Amino acid sequence: MSVEVWVTLGGVILAGLLAWHQLRASLYVRRREFEDIYVQRYWEISNRLNLDLRIGSYSGGDFAELADAEDKDAQYLAMWDYLALCEDQIDLRKSGNVTDEAWAVWSSSIAGTVSRYPYEAFYDLIEQGLDEAHVDESDRPWEHLRTLRHDPGAGLPDPYPLSGTGWRQRWRRYATGRRERVALTGLEVERLKMRRR
């Protein structure tokens, strides 16, 4: 082969790699922009909660006091919307539309929030009402959160089918724009250590 053929072949390969990298980067940016919409939804919902509920989420509050509050319905609706948002985030991850970096933050936040005041008490209130109405388990809202509530010690497992810490899974997620870099993050290293114990 002549030098011109090698130069042409090298140029084609380089152009292909640059095109793939650009596509991967645009997929990653698109996913991050999509995640920002959910972060905005979170803050909109959070801002609808009254100050007592926000403070109580850190110090533990009395949910019975909310039943007498003037804005009870608005507060219940905000908590319902938050639990629905959490379920949407889990579904998005399951379909592969959430990056690994965002999922690391979202999953710990979801698991922590639904197990503390006021969401834990609100969830129990909803479950009690559904039990009294004899609503079948399969017809109830928040399928993923229900699993988390039944076994809170297990944490929130990654619902994305290609999750994992093997180099092939990491490479595949990187190549499809679901991960910023191929290397393990500090959080993934800690999770691996905990699994091995």
pLDDT in tens, 27-45: 778 878 888 899 999 999 9
Q: How far apart are CA 140 and CA 142, in angstroms?
A: 7
Percent of the chain residues topping a pLDDT of 70 = 71
For 118-135, write each residue's pLDDT tens digit: 888 888 889 899 999 999
pLDDT of residue 165: 63
Give me the amino acid identity at 181.
R
Q: Which residue has the tokens 């928040």?
A: 142
pLDDT of residue 65: 67
For 57-106, write each residue's pLDDT tens digit: 666 666 666 666 678 888 889 999 999 999 999 999 888 888 888 888 88
